[in-house]
């Protein structure tokens, strides 16, 4: 039994003790009073009895009052202690969650940290199982999960806002408590082998907008008090803010490393990747090739058709490059109408084949021709020379009539 419950039950008992004592005192003196009337009959003794009775009764009342005030003071202290204990527990949980989600701005890592931390908190009696949905339009993407079979994942690949308990929390923005999945009509998604369980579904908000949902598992038919619900609501806001910050960071980082028009990497990104790729090629003596591309007669096209059409051509050329390269290759908007493609694990012959495919696809997509120069790493070449040689080869392609691929000497 908690301290507050103990104090609540002691209050009526104290009242009863004081009343009983006063009643007993009154009965004793009433008996004495009657005895005196029938046997003594002296007024002086009667007055003395009455005075003694009043004095004793007054003493009982004063002592009872003192005990009552002391009891109230003790109750206040117990209540304050309970409130401080609860507040301290809440602060400990919030600090633990804050410390955990503050470790990274990487979204994938953040999602995993959130699940591991929340399902490990003893205060909520949750099962070590759950997941996070992120809202994308009217859809919900399961971005992180813990303890689910494949059958569960298959059923939740195409969740919509409003579907099942998680979708309902995303739609309403309110915490949803479900005591038992087997008897809750709102729990509409079931999978083979599903064991009866409870849920607490927490909308994740940033700037008062629901951006996702955290769902946790509870043992079936367990109750969750308002203190825990309010605490998990605070944690939901905390997590929502952390996810939004990480997302903004990744978007900002991506924008700072990519060309805003074409979506290709920019020269800053190239510097980072090129440094690593060249160092690896040199260290383990692996192939590394580079393609420089320039759109033929682009200035004339821009002057004739306008910058909007020019931007469309740049975007289509970028798409052609991406279509003909691998995920490990790096396509770069090098400047103006110039592009660069970094090809790890690719020798000169293969790089020329890639360049020729890009040339043909670019013309097919845009009706515009491009010229390309190719260079490849060897032991005597430096990183900067690789770019210079590809640029020289590009210049040769221009000099030889454009719309062709040339290789560095």
With contact defined as beta carbons under 8 Å apart, do 133 and 215 qualify? yes
Q: How many CB atoms lie within 10 A of CB 272?
A: 12
- The Cα–Cα gap between 188 and 162 comes to 11
Residues listed for the chain:
409
**DSSP symbols for 215-244:** EEEE-TT----HHHHHHHHHHHHHHHHHHH
- The Cα–Cα gap between 358 and 366 comes to 12
- Pull the structure tokens for residue 251: 């978007």
Q: What is the C-alpha R_g of the chain? A: 40
With contact defined as beta carbons under 8 Å apart, do 309 and 299 qualify? no
Cα separations (Å) of 17 from 10, 22, 30, 73, 403?
A: 11, 9, 20, 18, 107
Nearest to 358 by CA among 401, 402, 405: 405
With contact defined as beta carbons under 8 Å apart, do 217 and 202 qualify? no
Is residue 337 part of the annotated active site? The answer reads yes
For residue 140, which phi and psi values (nearest 5 degrees)?
Answer: -130, 120
Residue with the two structure tokens 């080869």: 393
Strands 405-407 and 370-376: parallel
E strands of 164-319, at which residues? 176-178, 198-206, 209-218, 288-295
- The Cα–Cα gap between 334 and 243 comes to 33
From the candidates 150, 244, 337, 384, give the one annotated as an active-site residue: 337
Which of the 8 DSSP states describes residue 40? I
Element (H, E) at 406: strand 405-407
Q: So which residues are the catalytic ones?
A: 337
């Amino acid at each position: 039994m908690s301290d507050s419950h103990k104090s609540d039950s002691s209050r009526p008992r104290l009242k009863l003790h004081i009343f009983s004592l006063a009643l007993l005192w009154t009965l004793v003196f009433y008996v004495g009073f009657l005895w005196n009337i029938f046997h003594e009959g002296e007024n002086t003794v009667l007055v003395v009895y009455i005075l003694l009775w009043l004095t004793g009764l007054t003493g009982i009342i004063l002592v009872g009052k003192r005990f009552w005030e002391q009891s109230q003071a003790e109750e206040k202290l117990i209540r304050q202690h309970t409130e401080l204990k609860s507040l301290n527990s809440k602060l400990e949980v919030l600090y633990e969650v804050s410390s955990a989600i503050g470790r990274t701005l990487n979204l994938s890592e953040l999602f995993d940290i959130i699940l591991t931390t929340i399902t490990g908190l003893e205060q909520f009696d949750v099962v070590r199982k759950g997941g996070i949905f992120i809202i994308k339009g009217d859809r919900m993407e399961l971005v992180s999960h813990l303890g689910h079979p494949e059958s569960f994942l298959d059923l939740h690949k195409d969740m919509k806002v409003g579907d099942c308990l998680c979708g309902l929390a995303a739609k309403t923005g309110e915490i949803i408590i479900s005591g038992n999945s087997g008897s809750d009509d709102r729990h509409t998604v079931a999978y083979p082998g599903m064991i009866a369980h409870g849920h607490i579904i927490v909308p994740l908000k940033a700037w008062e907008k629901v951006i996702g949902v955290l769902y946790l598992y509870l043992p079936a038919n367990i109750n969750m008090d308002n203190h825990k619900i309010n605490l998990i609501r605070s944690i939901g806001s905390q997590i929502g803010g952390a996810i939004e910050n990480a997302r903004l960071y990744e978007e900002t980082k991506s924008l700072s490393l990519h060309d805003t028009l074409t979506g290709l990497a920019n020269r800053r990104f190239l510097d980072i990747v090129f440094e690593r790729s060249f160092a690896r090629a040199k260290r383990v003596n692996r192939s590394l090739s580079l393609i420089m591309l320039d759109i033929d007669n682009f200035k004339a096209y821009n002057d004739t058709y306008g910058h909007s059409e020019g931007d469309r051509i740049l975007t289509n050329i970028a798409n052609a490059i991406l279509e003909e390269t691998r995920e490990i290759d790096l396509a770069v908007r090098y400047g103006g109408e110039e592009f660069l493609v970094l090809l790890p694990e690719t020798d000169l012959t293969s790089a020329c084949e890639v360049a020729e495919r890009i040339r043909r696809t670019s013309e097919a997509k845009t009706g515009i021709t491009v010229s390309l120069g190719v260079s490849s790493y060897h032991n005597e070449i430096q990183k900067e020379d690789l770019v210079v040689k590809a640029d020289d080869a590009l210049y040769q392609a221009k000099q030889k009539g454009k719309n062709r691929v040339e290789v560095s000497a």
